[in-house]
Amino acid sequence: MNIDTLLLFISVLIIVSIIIAKISNNIGVPIMLLFIGVGMMAGSEGPGNIYFDDAELTQNIGIIALVFILFSGGLDTKWKHVKHILKPAISLSTLGVLITTISIGAFVHYIFDIDWLVGLLLGAVVSSTDAAAVFSIISTRNINLKGGIKPLLELESGTNDPMAVFLTISLIELITIKEFSIWSLTIDFVLEMGVGLAAGLLLGKLYVLLINKIRFPIEGFYTVFTLAFAMFIYSLTTSLQGSGFLAVYVGGLMVSNNDIVHKKSIFRFFDGIAWLSQIGMFLTLGLLVYPSELIKGFSVEILIALFLILFARPLGVFTSLAFSSYQWREKLFISLVGLRGAVPIILATFPLLANIKEAGWIFNIVFFIVLTSALLQGWPMPFLARWLGLDAPYVKKIKSPIEFSEYEESNMKLINLKISDRNTAYLKKSIVQLPELKGSLIVTVFRDEKYFVPTGGTILEPNDTIQVLADNEKAEQLERYFSKVNE
């Protein structure tokens, strides 16, 4: 296949996937499922008839995609929202993953008479929830949850991949090398996580320092520099025997919670890159699988998938959150929405490349579990939240037509403020009559789904959103007086 034909196939697959995702989003079908489906249709057993069986290339594409997805996930995570749920999230990301691994291993060993290590390997591969799957469903379905459930799910899915990767690689070594030492594995785990965490914190801080100090002659260099730096964080940490996935997520978290130049444009760029990564990753994974093989092992696959969803995941959640403040309804919801996505499928390529005898069996089961998870856990997520009384009103984010780049030496910021109908102090008054707004520039007013440029005589009405340009000190006063709106 020449380069022109290859580019044609790639572009058509991406365009078709996006169009189908747009149409199907109205009926709530998980986008991940659609992308995989398009890949399967394009594969050797589908109408596309594209033969693809390169597990190593699939793994490499998946790793690169996950770097950008996790970095983007870190950018979308606000420290003030997750710092109070850090302990339960870490417990889910470590103890929860371990319990899931052992549960699946025991089930497969005793029910299907599979070797203990092979069963544990399958458990490790499917043990982590997937950041891409969780982030995409929460954002596309406009899900808003009470309390700290949403940040817990996001933080868990962004931080439990390192544990799953560590267990998968360790079990592969045990199967192929036949060496085992609890002490050495524990030391390796602590070092890997410690190096990953330290590298993410330090390199994230270094990025903030550099991006604010360097004056690039071309604005586009800022996004290119950030893209390269995300890969730098992952590759350097991995070369230091640390967890690159943890480092790149923590690095994104550090960037998100510091002031940097061109912040909005960088965030918007990575949102697009993350979606492109998801599409490319799921399409590739769809190409790699053979649907006929999934059908052959349906009875075994469905039993393992249901055991994971209904027992192993809940056991891991209720155990790891036993001493947390979460109520049983919240724990049940967290248990039932632990989506599996691309990460388990990518991890399933590790046994294939290690030439483990049961690798093909593991890959097919993992792929089936991912499909089942999207259908049984992703699709009903908003309905389950309402049933358990955990859904909260969705607050629509403001998409402003005005952008403002906050340079390091700038003392100005652009904020969106809500005009509440509860405060009569500023209702039905013109902008010029409000002393609180003196010294600030009211750039736009958002009313009835439309923006307009106000004058001093513009009368503010309930539920208006005003976009204000003010110095940092004044902006803080306005945020206390009015209500700040999500951007």
Q: Are 71 and 249 contacting, i.e. CB atoms less than 8 angstroms apart? A: yes
Q: Tell me whether residue 394 is in a domain.
A: no
Query: 469: which 2 tokens?
Result: 């340009």
Q: What is the pLDDT of residues 101-159, one digit of tens each?
A: 999 999 999 999 999 999 999 999 999 887 666 666 766 666 777 778 888 888 888 88
Element (H, E) at 314: helix 313-320
Closest among 96, 464, 138, 47 to 316, alpha carbons compared: 96
Indicate the residue among 336, 354, 387 that finishes a domain.
Answer: 387
What pLDDT is attached to residue 364? 93
Q: How confident is the model at residue 484 (pLDDT cuts 50, 70, 90)?
A: low
- Check whether residue 290 and residue 224 sit in a common domain: yes
Query: 422: which 2 tokens?
Result: 């509860």
End-to-end CA separation in angstroms for the chain? 45
What pLDDT is attached to residue 365? 94
Percentage above 90 pLDDT, the chain: 31
- Check whether residue 176 and residue 277 sit in a common domain: yes
What pLDDT is attached to residue 141? 67
Q: Tell me whether residue 42 is in a domain.
A: no
Q: Tell me whether residue 30 is in a domain.
A: no
Full residue range of the structural domain in which residue 204 is found: 53-387
The single-letter DSSP state of residue 482 is S
**For the chain, what is the domain count?**
2
Q: Tell me whether residue 9 is in a domain.
A: no
Q: What is the CATH number of the domain that holds 467?
A: 3.30.70.1450
**365 burial level (CB within 10 Å; 0-12, 13-18, 19+):** buried
- Check whether residue 376 and residue 433 sit in a common domain: no
Q: Tell me whether residue 271 is in a domain.
A: yes
Q: Tell me whether residue 209 is in a domain.
A: yes
- Check whether residue 310 and residue 204 sit in a common domain: yes
Indicate the residue among 370, 387, 404 that finishes a domain.
Answer: 387
- Check whether residue 340 and residue 431 sit in a common domain: no
Q: What is the rounded CA–CA span in Å between residue 414 and residue 403?
A: 8
* Distance, CA of 252 to chain centre: 12
Q: Tell me whether residue 70 is in a domain.
A: yes
Residue keyed to tokens 């996937």: 17
Nearest 5°: CA angle at 390, between 388 and 396?
140
- Check whether residue 58 and residue 155 sit in a common domain: yes
Q: Taking the CA atoms of 23, 27, 32 and 34 in sequence, report the sign of the dihedral they define.
A: negative
- Check whether residue 182 and residue 322 sit in a common domain: yes
Q: What is the rounded CA–CA span in Å between residue 141 and residue 135?
A: 10
- Check whether residue 369 and residue 449 sit in a common domain: no
Q: What is the pLDDT of residues 156-187, one digit of tens each?
A: 888 888 889 999 998 998 898 866 677 777 88
Residue keyed to tokens 């006063």: 477
- Check whether residue 439 and residue 372 sit in a common domain: no
**1 burial level (CB within 10 Å; 0-12, 13-18, 19+):** exposed
Q: Tell me whether residue 28 is in a domain.
A: no
In the chain, how long is the greatest CA-to-CA distance?
79
Nearest 5°: CA angle at 101, between 99 and 102?
65
Q: Pairing state of beta strands 441-447 and 412-418?
A: unpaired
Indicate the residue among 347, 370, 387 that finishes a domain.
Answer: 387
Query: 52: which 2 tokens?
Result: 């693809």
For residue 401, pLDDT beyond 70: no
- Check whether residue 441 and residue 379 sit in a common domain: no
Q: What is the pLDDT of residues 418-428, one digit of tens each?
A: 877 666 666 67
Q: Pairing state of beta strands 441-447 and 450-452?
A: antiparallel
The single-letter DSSP state of residue 279 is H
Q: How confident is the model at residue 439 (pLDDT cuts 50, 70, 90)?
A: confident
- Check whether residue 380 and residue 454 sit in a common domain: no
- Check whether residue 372 and residue 422 sit in a common domain: no
Query: 205: which 2 tokens?
Result: 């801080």
Q: What is the CATH number of the domain that holds 200?
A: 1.20.1530.20
* Distance, CA of 209 to chain centre: 25
Q: What is the pLDDT of residues 2-35, one digit of tens each?
A: 788 878 888 888 888 788 777 665 555 667 777 8
What average pLDDT does the segment 187-203 reach? 92
What pLDDT is attached to residue 426? 67
Starting at the edge strand found earlier in the chain, the sheet holding 483-484 runs 450-452, 441-447, 465-471, 412-418, 483-484
Closest among 64, 407, 350 to 214, alpha carbons compared: 407
Q: What is the rounded CA–CA span in Å between residue 261 and residue 348?
A: 40
Q: What is the pLDDT of residues 69-100, one digit of tens each?
A: 889 888 888 887 788 888 999 999 999 999 99
